[in-house]
């Protein structure tokens, strides 16, 4: 038997590499490579490719841009302890791929900040070209705060985070979306599927010759489709009673310097959010931070007047005020200090569907579709957001957590609290047995409102959930998980199934996110059990497929990032997602890829050969390739096939030759089909391909990888494309290498 060490360097992945090429397939799961280097290389290459060709839709171009900070993040970020903590893994690099996923998951649960601006402010901003008003302008800047944010946890230890952010939402739409939504046709899951289709359509490029090399390079640590899927899934859940992540932590109330009666307007806006027509639904805690913003129009108004007004504001409304100086005219590309508006990372599937379409039409018209903004405005907004978060939101949240912890949680945790909940349970039994005939509609005397299916905001259950969510958003996972653990049984007793599911889900998630729980012998079974309960409650008791899928997807990703035996658990959860039929056809294939990735990330124990799951990973990769092919996506299929061959390389005696005959024939057929489909999709039948391949410094990367293939097969007989030739390509490769150099020299 050969050991992996002497196989991998010698053995290139077998012959067939039409699109993805060797580099791409190695980039896909960089666990074995030097991860920072690969990300770096990918960045450089994708930049150099994407910048000169504006025809790449924004959604694909967004991917490399937002991974622009992984290096900074991996130094000090969501998972700082993970690399340090020892759980028998000599491969530290393995975690860098999942680091990004963890950061993504953590950032998905950011505090929500509602924005409520006066008419004149919205008008001012609309003049600048932001159709959605003030909220639209702020939104992209809330997602990442410049610089570190220091958060103190419940025991008083401070930690700095680089990737903290908030989610700005429009107060007018908050909490009202579920009512107007048609649950059947455009459920979030169906929309996610559509977004994926669109994204893949954009990257797979049926247009043939115009396929950007980027879509292949885009396969970084995790394939962007699966990452896109996860991100879409995480932001597709609307604000709901059973969890408070979508509820506003604060609200920004904005007026502009154009306003005739500024203080009165501010009071009116406040009153509207509190009691008026903009009052949030009853299940949202009404006590949230109000932050007052005065938008100063740099071009029309006098700064001295505004400063005077601002001082007045501070006197009336306290410290949570900010003066934001913006220019009111619209910025165009040709302006001196113009810069592109950053892309929003957390677009819900619905917005994605609308937004992507919008940019595409603009691309056709020749503009690049993104709006621009003055540099000075950007820095003003950035400093405003930073001040808002660092000086107001975080202290406010820390304060609330401390207060609730003292007043509600401590009482619940204490001996009397336990006794009370116990006695309540007993009382519940007796009362329900007494009123059994009357249908026991009122539950068992708990605080749960069975008619509207929520806890009222001032009940201890609701407050504890809010406190746990706050702690979670502040990344104090220890406190969060202990609080979830405390309340999850209460929800079960009250038969508040959605709360019950949510508490179990978040308890497991926060346990998995807590990097210190690792040393404390995290019990995988209990985590599995919690996910099981959550999933059952979501699906069977509440028939809430979106949340169930989110729960399972989180389980898969977080367990995978734990490594070790947790990866097998992760793979099992991924299989269950497929089993439940929660995802559409594209989602199914993505989860197949995830299963493969889970198994692939399980490394052998010590230096021994056993303990890895290469065969399993390879099998799932092959199945995914088969499915991609059937879905008409040969590019992705060939990437999966490459991946499978790389995985199988370690376990097969002879490269590309399977011992079992039926497997062999299946793989051969698959290879052949992928090759022919791939070439067809690339318009290979059109004879102008090799000519266009010669030009273009921008396409250098793709030329290196696959144009050579085309050229060679054109020179040879077309019938040489059969599988036998491709499989036995191993010994041919050395011939090809000098050939290639010769041609390029």
339 lines the binding site for another protein (CB under 8 A): no
Q: Which position among 90, 147, 581, 738 is part of the footprint of another protein (CB under 8 A)?
A: 581
6 lines the binding site for another protein (CB under 8 A): no
Cα(30)–Cα(95) distance, rounded to whole angstroms?
10
What DSSP line would sit under 599-652, residue for residue? HHTPPPSTT-SBTB-HHHHHHHHHHHHHHHHHTT-HHHHHHHHHHHHHHHTTT-
- What are the residues whose beta carbons fall under 8 Å from the beta carbon of 729, sequence distance 6 or more? 14, 15, 16
Question: Around Cβ 145, how many Cβ atoms within 10 Å?
Answer: 20
543 lines the binding site for another protein (CB under 8 A): no
Q: Which position among 127, 665, 680, 720 is part of the footprint of another protein (CB under 8 A)?
A: 665
For 589, the 3-state DSSP assignment is helix
- N-term to C-term CA, the chain: 41
Cα(349)–Cα(343) distance, rounded to whole angstroms?
15
Pairing of strands 167-170, 112-117: parallel
Q: Which position among 172, 301, 402, 666 is part of the footprint of another protein (CB under 8 A)?
A: 666
Cα(357)–Cα(343) distance, rounded to whole angstroms?
15
Among residues 10, 59, 20, 58, which one has the least CA distance to residue 42? 20
CB 507 to another protein: min, Å: 17
Among residues 373, 350, 385, which one has the least CA distance to residue 173? 350
Among residues 21, 11, 9, which one has the least CA distance to residue 652? 11
Number of residues that bind another protein (CB under 8 A): 37
Spell out, one character per residue from 479 to 518, where the chain touches another protein: x when CB under 8 A holds, - when not. Answer: ----------------------------------------
Q: Which position among 34, 311, 406, 579 is part of the footprint of another protein (CB under 8 A)?
A: 579
619 lines the binding site for another protein (CB under 8 A): yes
Dihedral pair phi/psi, residue 683, rounded to 5°: 70, 35
430 lines the binding site for another protein (CB under 8 A): no
**Window of 339-347, 409-417, 573-581, 695-703 that interacts with another protein by CB under 8 A:** 573-581
CB 608 to another protein: min, Å: 8
For 491, the 3-state DSSP assignment is helix
Nearer to another protein, 156 or 661 (CB): 661
Nearer to another protein, 319 or 663 (CB): 663
618 lines the binding site for another protein (CB under 8 A): yes
Among positions 645-664, residues that touch another protein (CB under 8 A) are 651, 653, 658-663
Nearer to another protein, 234 or 549 (CB): 549
What's 56's DSSP letter? S
Contact 523, 47 (CB under 8 A): no
CA-based max dimension of the chain: 92
CB 610 to another protein: min, Å: 4
Dihedral pair phi/psi, residue 116, rounded to 5°: -135, 110
383 lines the binding site for another protein (CB under 8 A): no
CB 530 to another protein: min, Å: 11
CB 505 to another protein: min, Å: 16
Q: Which position among 227, 231, 325, 614 is part of the footprint of another protein (CB under 8 A)?
A: 614
270 lines the binding site for another protein (CB under 8 A): no
CB 228 to another protein: min, Å: 24
**Window of 12-20, 112-120, 566-574, 632-640 that interacts with another protein by CB under 8 A:** 566-574
720 lines the binding site for another protein (CB under 8 A): no
Pairing of strands 158-161, 321-326: unpaired
Among positions 620-649, residues that touch another protein (CB under 8 A) are 622-623
Contacts 24+ apart (CB under 8 A), 587-590: 587/192, 587/193, 587/196, 587/229, 588/627, 589/624, 589/627, 589/628, 589/631, 590/196, 590/223, 590/225, 590/226, 590/229
Nearer to another protein, 280 or 622 (CB): 622
526 lines the binding site for another protein (CB under 8 A): no
Contact 39, 71 (CB under 8 A): yes
590 lines the binding site for another protein (CB under 8 A): no
Helix axes 21-28, 634-648, angle to 10 degrees: 70
**Window of 11-19, 62-70, 214-222, 577-585 that interacts with another protein by CB under 8 A:** 577-585
Q: Which position among 24, 27, 612, 723 is part of the footprint of another protein (CB under 8 A)?
A: 612
Nearer to another protein, 270 or 666 (CB): 666
Nearer to another protein, 610 or 742 (CB): 610
317 lines the binding site for another protein (CB under 8 A): no
186 lines the binding site for another protein (CB under 8 A): no
Among residues 575, 729, 602, 714, which one has the least CA distance to residue 657? 729
Contact 24, 705 (CB under 8 A): yes
CB 539 to another protein: min, Å: 8
688 lines the binding site for another protein (CB under 8 A): no
What's 287's DSSP letter? -
User: How many residues comprise the chain?
Assistant: 745
Q: Which position among 610, 695, 715, 745 is part of the footprint of another protein (CB under 8 A)?
A: 610
CB 585 to another protein: min, Å: 15
Q: Which position among 186, 528, 700, 740 is part of the footprint of another protein (CB under 8 A)?
A: 528
Residue 532's DSSP bridge partners are none
**Window of 317-325, 400-408, 604-612, 701-709 that interacts with another protein by CB under 8 A:** 604-612
Cα(378)–Cα(341) distance, rounded to whole angstroms?
9
9 lines the binding site for another protein (CB under 8 A): no
Nearer to another protein, 664 or 739 (CB): 664
For 234, the 3-state DSSP assignment is helix
Q: Which position among 178, 201, 414, 611 is part of the footprint of another protein (CB under 8 A)?
A: 611
Q: Which position among 282, 532, 700, 740 is part of the footprint of another protein (CB under 8 A)?
A: 532
Burial class (CB in 10 A: 0-12, 13-18, 19+), 56: buried
Binding site for another protein (CB under 8 A): 525, 528-529, 532, 536, 540, 569, 572-573, 575-576, 578-581, 609-616, 618-619, 622-623, 651, 653, 658-663, 665-666
């Amino acid at each position: 038997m050969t050991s992996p060490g002497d196989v991998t360097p010698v053995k290139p992945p077998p012959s067939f590499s039409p699109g993805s090429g060797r580099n791409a397939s190695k980039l896909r799961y960089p666990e074995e490579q030097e991860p920072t280097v690969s990300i770096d290389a990918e960045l450089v290459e994708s930049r150099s490719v994407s910048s000169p060709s504006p025809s790449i839709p924004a959604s694909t171009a967004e991917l490399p841009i937002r991974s622009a900070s992984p290096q900074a993040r991996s130094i000090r970020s969501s998972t700082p302890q993970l690399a340090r903590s020892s759980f028998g893994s000599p491969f530290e690099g393995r975690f860098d791929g999942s680091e990004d996923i963890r950061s993504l998951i953590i950032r998905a649960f950011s505090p929500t900040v509602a924005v409520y601006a006066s008419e004149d402010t919205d008008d001012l901003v609309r003049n600048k070209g932001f159709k959605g008003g003030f909220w639209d302008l702020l939104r992209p800047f809330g997602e990442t705060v410049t610089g570190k944010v220091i958060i103190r946890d419940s025991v008083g230890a401070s930690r700095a985070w680089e990737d903290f952010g908030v989610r700005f939402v429009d107060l007018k739409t908050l909490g009202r979306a579920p009512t107007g939504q048609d649950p059947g046709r455009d459920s979030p899951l169906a929309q996610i599927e559509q977004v994926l289709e669109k994204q893949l359509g954009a990257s797979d490029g049926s247009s043939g010759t115009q396929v950007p090399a980027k879509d292949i390079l885009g396969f970084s640590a995790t394939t962007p489709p699966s990452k896109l899927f996860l991100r879409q899934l995480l932001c597709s859940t609307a604000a709901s009673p059973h969890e408070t992540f979508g509820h506003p932590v604060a609200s920004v109330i904005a007026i502009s310097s154009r306003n005739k009666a500024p203080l009165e307007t501010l009071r009116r806006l406040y009153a509207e959010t509190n009691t008026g027509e903009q009052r949030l639904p009853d299940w949202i805690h009404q006590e949230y931070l109000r932050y007052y913003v005065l938008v100063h129009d740099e071009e029309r108004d006098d700064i001295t007047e505004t400063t005077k007004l601002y001082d007045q504001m501070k006197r009336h409304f306290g410290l949570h005020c900010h003066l934001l100086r913006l220019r009111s005219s619209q910025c165009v590309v040709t302006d001196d200090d113009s810069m592109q508006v950053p892309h929003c990372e957390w677009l819900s599937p619905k917005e994605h569907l609308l937004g992507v379409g919008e940019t595409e039409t603009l691309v056709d018209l020749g503009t690049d579709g993104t709006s621009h903004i003055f540099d000075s405005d950007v820095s003003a907004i950035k400093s405003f957001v930073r001040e808002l978060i660092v000086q107001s939101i975080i202290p406010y949240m820390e304060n609330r957590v401390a207060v609730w912890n003292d007043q509600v949680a401590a009482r619940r945790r204490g001996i009397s609290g336990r006794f009370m909940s116990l006695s309540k349970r007993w009382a519940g039994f007796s009362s329900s047995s007494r009123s059994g005939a009357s249908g026991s509609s009122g539950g068992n005397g708990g605080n749960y409102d069975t008619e509207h299916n929520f806890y009222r905001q001032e009940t201890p259950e609701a407050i504890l959930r809010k406190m746990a969510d706050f702690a979670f958003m502040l990344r104090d996972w220890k406190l969060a998980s202990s609080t979830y653990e405390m309340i999850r049984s209460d929800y079960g007793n009250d038969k508040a199934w959605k709360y019950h599911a949510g508490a179990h889900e978040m308890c497991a998630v926060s346990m998995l996110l807590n990097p210190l729980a690792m040393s404390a012998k995290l019990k995988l079974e209990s985590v599995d059990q919690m996910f099981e309960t959550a999933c059952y409650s979501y699906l069977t008791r509440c028939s809430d497929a979106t949340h169930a899928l989110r729960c399972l997807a989180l389980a898969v990703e977080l367990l995978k990032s734990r490594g070790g035996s947790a990866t097998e658990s992760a793979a099992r959860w991924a299989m269950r997602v497929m089993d439940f039929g929660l995802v559409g056809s594209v989602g199914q294939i993505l989860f197949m890829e995830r299963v493969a990735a889970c198994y692939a990330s399980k490394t052998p124990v010590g230096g021994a050969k056993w303990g890895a799951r290469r065969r399993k990973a390879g099998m799932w990769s092959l199945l995914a390739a088969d499915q991609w092919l059937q879905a008409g996506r040969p590019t992705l299929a060939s990437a999966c096939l490459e991946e499978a061959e790389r995985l199988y390389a370690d376990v097969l005696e002879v490269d590309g030759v399977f011992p079992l005959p039926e497997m062999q024939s299946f793989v051969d057929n698959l290879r052949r089909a992928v090759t022919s489909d791939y070439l067809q999709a690339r318009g290979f039948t059109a004879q102008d391909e090799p000519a266009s391949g010669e030009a273009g410094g921008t396409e250098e990367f793709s030329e290196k990888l696959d144009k050579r293939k085309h050229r060679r097969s054109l020179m040879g007989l077309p019938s040489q494309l059969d599988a036998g030739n491709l499989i036995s390509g191993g010994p041919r490769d050395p011939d090809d290498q000098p050939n290639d150099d010769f041609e390029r020299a």
